[in-house]
Amino acid sequence: MTEEKKEEEKTLKKKKPKIPRQPMPEQDPHERAKNFKEVTYGFPAELAQNESIRCIQCKNPVCIDGCPVNINIPQFIKKVSEGDILGAAKVIKESSLLPAICGRVCPQEDQCEMVCVVGKKDKPVSIGRLERYVADYEAAHGTFEMPEMAPKTGKKVAIIGSGPAGLACAGDLIKMGHGVTIFEALHKAGGVLVYGIPEFRLPKAIVERELDYLQKIGVEFKLNHVIGRIRTVDELMQKDEYDALFLANGAGLPQFMNIPGENLNGVYSSNEYLTRSNLMKAYNFPEYDTPIKKYKNLAVIGGGNTAMDSVRTALRLGAENAYIIYRRSRDEMPARKEEIDHAEHEGVQFIMLTAPLRVIGNEKGWVTGLECIKMELGEPDDSGRRRPVPVKGSEFVVNLDAIVVAIGTNANPLVAQTTPGLELNKWGYIVVDDEKTCKTSKKGVFAGGDIVTGGATVILAMGAGRSAAKSINEYLKII
């Protein structure tokens, strides 16, 4: 055992928390499965206080390294324990622009909380929930304060896409003194935060709050601007004289299964299903004009967070049977455990080790079922997960009115197709020289987030946005 480890063990023994991990209050599962209000209520002050003193203030805080944007976690938690919540907010905001969002949607169990030292003997400190508590407290009690702004440089940067990567990059660049314009294709800013993640997991008012803040500190938003069509990357640089560009347009192209019957009525991509519900607020039809069908029996194909969001949306729209169909077993599902548990408590039914073969429809062109085949797990594949193999003769039919396909997304080619000289990899994602510089093959053009990595998480995209801001700032100094 190294000296450091011994030291850690000692601290752990000495400061072994006597308080258990505090439970997060949440809406009753049966109740919440019928509404779109946020599932979890957040910590009240007392629980936050209790949770904060579970942090043992490690000398070597590995949680900071576990965080993609390196929030000084022990320091903000210490402020919470001292009752200085606005002080805690300041600490977080040094590293993260969107704490109210990340506190809700970050997979903390794979990041900061996974390495939390308290978690070695007990359950880890609820870092994410405390982050959310601090951010919500600040929103309710804090007053708007202009952050420290560097003197204006006269340089201007165009950001393509207003999702987490674009927003984080904008927030940093504006503080560095540059002019920042975000071009957004849709009529609302926020990217996946507004079209993808449902209200019950991330209330849109919170996203609005963060967007307001960016506008107040001077970021310009140009909505309804589809770059690649209304303007190309080259035109933005030459005609509109932007000194640098950050491409953060995400991985928005839905994948389908390429099985027979997939274009029958009642088959949706998760992007369509969620965009109708979230961005267009179709769950409030006819008060909102965009319709969404209320299906009795609906299955979502896939095991990721988007699949969970889709199936839980279906329940809230009144589905009697809402299924997840996934070709591996529950342990291999890429969704956060918390989301899977929430879905299960709300009544979602899991059909595991099952792969779709063919969508069955009626003479009117509507879905009536899905023919599937049972799978078993074989040898591990490239991803390290055991490869699902079909079980011969195990075909069966699930009766359904609708199917939502949530098996992942690809790069949207619109920007790439119209940007000569921009290097892409074989999947169509933009190639950057390294994750820190975010430099593309085109001078003055940077890229980050899902359009570089493929579909990932909000916090990773945000981290990329911040790295890009640093790199763009350096670039602007030398041109």
Partner 1 sequence: MNKILEKKVWWTDAPAIKEFVVEAPWIAEKHKAGQFVILRASENGERIPLTISDKNIEKGTINILFQEVGKTTMTLGKLNKGDSIFDLAGPLGKPTHIENFGTVVCIGGGIGVAPVHPIAQALKAAGNNVISILGARTKEILIYEDLMRKCSNEVRVTTDDGSYGRHGFVTDELKSMIESGMKIDLVVTIGPPIMMKMVCKVTEPYKIHTFASLNTIMVDGTGMCGACRVTVGGKTKFVCVDGPEFDGHQVNFDEMMSRLRQYVDEEKISRELCQQGTCRTA
User: Minimal distance in Å, beta carbon 271 to partner 1?
Assistant: 5
Instruction: Say whether residue 295 binds partner 1 (CB under 8 A).
Output: no
CA distances from 421 to 245, 265, 442 (A): 14, 40, 6
| Closest CB to partner 1 among residues 161, 448 | 161
Nearest to 97 by CA among 155, 161, 175: 175
Instruction: Say whether residue 429 binds partner 1 (CB under 8 A).
Output: no
Nearest to 255 by CA among 456, 407, 444: 407
Task: Look at the block and give the residue holding tokens 């890009």.
Answer: 468
Instruction: Say whether residue 114 binds partner 1 (CB under 8 A).
Output: no
Rounded Cα–Cα distance for residues 416 and 439 (Å): 15
Instruction: List the one residue from 96, 271, 354, 440 that touches partner 1 (CB under 8 A).
Output: 271
Rounded Cα–Cα distance for residues 86 and 320 (Å): 44
Instruction: Say whether residue 238 binds partner 1 (CB under 8 A).
Output: no
| Closest CB to partner 1 among residues 43, 273 | 273
Instruction: Say whether residue 288 binds partner 1 (CB under 8 A).
Output: yes
Cis peptide before 380 (omega within 30 of 0): no
Instruction: Say whether residue 313 binds partner 1 (CB under 8 A).
Output: no
Alpha helical stretches, state H, 58-217: 62-66, 73-81, 85-95, 99-105, 112-115, 127-141, 164-175, 192-195, 204-216
**β partners of residue 370:** 359, 398
Instruction: Say whether residue 260 binds partner 1 (CB under 8 A).
Output: no
Pairing of strands 220-222, 179-183: parallel
Instruction: Say whether residue 351 binds partner 1 (CB under 8 A).
Output: no
Rounded Cα–Cα distance for residues 41 and 26 (Å): 5
| Closest CB to partner 1 among residues 225, 345 | 225
Instruction: Say whether residue 220 binds partner 1 (CB under 8 A).
Output: no
Rounded Cα–Cα distance for residues 370 and 327 (Å): 14
| Closest CB to partner 1 among residues 126, 271 | 271
Instruction: Say whether residue 345 binds partner 1 (CB under 8 A).
Output: no
Count CB atoms within 10 A of the CB of residue 251.
24
User: Minimal distance in Å, beta carbon 148 to partner 1?
Assistant: 33
What H or E segment, with its residue span, contains residue 379?
strand 367-380
**Does residue 153 contact residue 177 with C-beta atoms inside 8 Å?**
yes
145-172 burial, b if ≥16 CB within 10 A, otherwise e? eeeeeeeeeebbbbbbbbbbbbbbbbbb
3-class SS of residue 26? strand
| Closest CB to partner 1 among residues 223, 391 | 223
Instruction: Say whether residue 262 binds partner 1 (CB under 8 A).
Output: yes
Instruction: Say whether residue 406 binds partner 1 (CB under 8 A).
Output: no
User: Per-residue contact track with partner 1, 61 to 90, x per CB under 8 A?
Assistant: ------------------------------
| Closest CB to partner 1 among residues 169, 257 | 257
- One-letter identity of residue 80: V
Instruction: Say whether residue 286 binds partner 1 (CB under 8 A).
Output: yes
Stretch touching partner 1 by CB under 8 A, among 66-74, 123-131, 276-284, 345-353: 276-284
User: Per-residue contact track with partner 1, 159 to 198, x per CB under 8 A?
Assistant: --------------------------xxx-------x---
Instruction: Say whether residue 358 binds partner 1 (CB under 8 A).
Output: no
**Does residue 332 contact residue 386 with C-beta atoms inside 8 Å?**
yes
| Closest CB to partner 1 among residues 18, 364 | 364
Instruction: List the one residue from 40, 70, 72, 265 that touches partner 1 (CB under 8 A).
Output: 265
Task: Look at the block and give the residue holding tokens 């997840």.
Answer: 324
Instruction: Say whether residue 151 binds partner 1 (CB under 8 A).
Output: no
Instruction: Say whether residue 388 binds partner 1 (CB under 8 A).
Output: no
Q: CA angle, corner 52, sides to 51 and 55, nearest 5?
A: 100
Residues from 23 through 62 that contact partner 1 (CB under 8 A)? none
Instruction: List the one residue from 99, 254, 455, 463 that touches partner 1 (CB under 8 A).
Output: 254
Instruction: List the one residue from 35, 215, 238, 263 that touches partner 1 (CB under 8 A).
Output: 263
Stretch touching partner 1 by CB under 8 A, among 62-70, 274-282, 391-399, 442-450: 274-282
**β partners of residue 158:** 181, 245
User: Minimal distance in Å, beta carbon 230 to partner 1?
Assistant: 5
- How many residues lie near partner 1 (CB under 8 A)? 40
Could you list the residues that contact partner 1 (CB under 8 A)? 185-187, 195, 223-226, 229-231, 252-254, 256, 258, 262-263, 265, 268-269, 271-272, 275-276, 280-281, 285-291, 293, 364-365, 412-414
